[in-house]
Each structure stands twice: as structure tokens, then as C-alpha cells.
Copies of this chain bind each other. A is one copy, B any other.
Amino acid sequence: MRAIIQRVTKATVTVGEEEISSIGRGLCVLLGVSVEDTQKDADYIVRKILNLRLFEDEGGRAWTKSVVDRDFEVLCVSQFTLQCVLKANKPDFHLAMPAELAQPFYNSILENMRSSYKPELIKDGRFGAYMQVHIQNDGPVTIDLTSPTGPSDPKQLSKQEKQQQRKEKTRSKGPSESSREKGAARSKRDPNASSGADGDVSSDREP
């Protein structure tokens, strides 16, 4: 699981002309869930988002207070493109957890965050929708977080990818068929939507 955490003065999400979400000071989190992620990754990411010391204290001393300490808000938006593997200059997203699995998992992460803090201070985008995320990055301050068991760099991704492919070749059926079944389960959605992975965003279908 990868999270891009931006410290913000404010952030909003619009879908078309409609503003669907808005926060003041706090964190805007773009969250990318991979096919390999488990509850352990989710718990780690939630804990870090809420406890990272990215804010100053009342005396202006930097890097001393968390979003929880300051009673600030969190806007979390699903972002499968963070699970990108590059084939030369072509992004490939087959390591992203497919939307039909990612959506309930992502919702459980939000619930976890709400129950660990104040529910009314945790905001969301709209899963799978084509959004404009307006981020006023304050500083700027941006932290790139990877859960301990998640993939981390292009080389590791390549290795993981190969392992994954080997696994898929050798087994007939198993509990994590998600990536094999992904093609079949894909729904037709806005080709620009990139909040949840689906067929339209894979570059596999290209020549």
C-alpha cells in the first residue's frame, strides 16, 4: 500500500460542477492499494497518517504535532495509479487491487481511520469517479509512505510481478485470484477515472 500524504491549508474534491468534499488544515492522502495488501498494511498506513508529526506546535516548533494532536482534518482519495509499474514510458496498473475488491477494502480503511480519530474529521472522495482534487499543499510538505510489506521500487515490482506470474501459472485455484479474474470482472467506466482500477485504465489492451 502506498500513500502520498500532502500537508494542506485546504483541499476539496469536485465531480463535474459539484463539490463533494472539503477540508481545511490537515492532510490530503492519495491511497493506492495493491493486490498483495492485507489488513496489516491498512493498519500501518492508518496509524502513520494519524500520528506522523507533520505540523508545528503552538510555539511554531516544526515537526512536533500530528493531525490528531492539532485536531485537523484528513481528506482521503483512492488512487490506484500509485501501484504503477512502468514498461518503458507506458504505465501498467495490473498490480493495483481491482476495483471490486479495492472498494470494500478502501472503505474499511476509512472506517478504521474514523474510529481511530473523530469520524467527522475524515473526508472521502468518490471511489471510481473522475474527480478534480484541489490540493493546497502547505510548505510544500509531502511524504511518500509505503507499508512494510508492500512493493516499493520498480526493480522490486518487477520481481514481485514475476513471482506473481509464476504463482498464477502453477496454481489452478486459490484464494487470491483477484488479478487473474480482473479482466473478466472489469466494468465499463469513465476512462479518465483513476480512483479505482478497472479495464479502461489498463494499458494492456494497447498494441
Chain A residues proximal to chain B, CB less than 8 Å: 2, 4, 6, 9, 30, 48, 51-54, 56, 60-64, 66, 77, 79, 81-82, 84, 86, 89-91, 125, 130-144, 146, 148, 152-156, 191-195, 200-201, 203, 206
Contacts and interface: CB of A to CB of B under 8 A. Distances in A.
A52 B89 contact: yes
Contacts of A125: 140
Given A79-B142, A152-B153, A195-B140, A64 B131 contact: no
A62 B155 contact: no
16 contacts: A51-B89, A52-B86, A53-B91, A56-B192, A63-B91, A63-B203, A77-B140, A82-B143, A82-B144, A134-B136, A135-B137, A139-B193, A140-B195, A148-B155, A152-B153, A152-B156
B63 A192 contact: no
Query: Copies per complex?
Result: 2
A77 B135 CA distance: 14
B82 A142 contact: yes
A49 to B, nearest CB: 10
Contact of A152 (B51, B137, B152, B206): B152
A202 to B, nearest CB: 8
B155 A191 contact: no
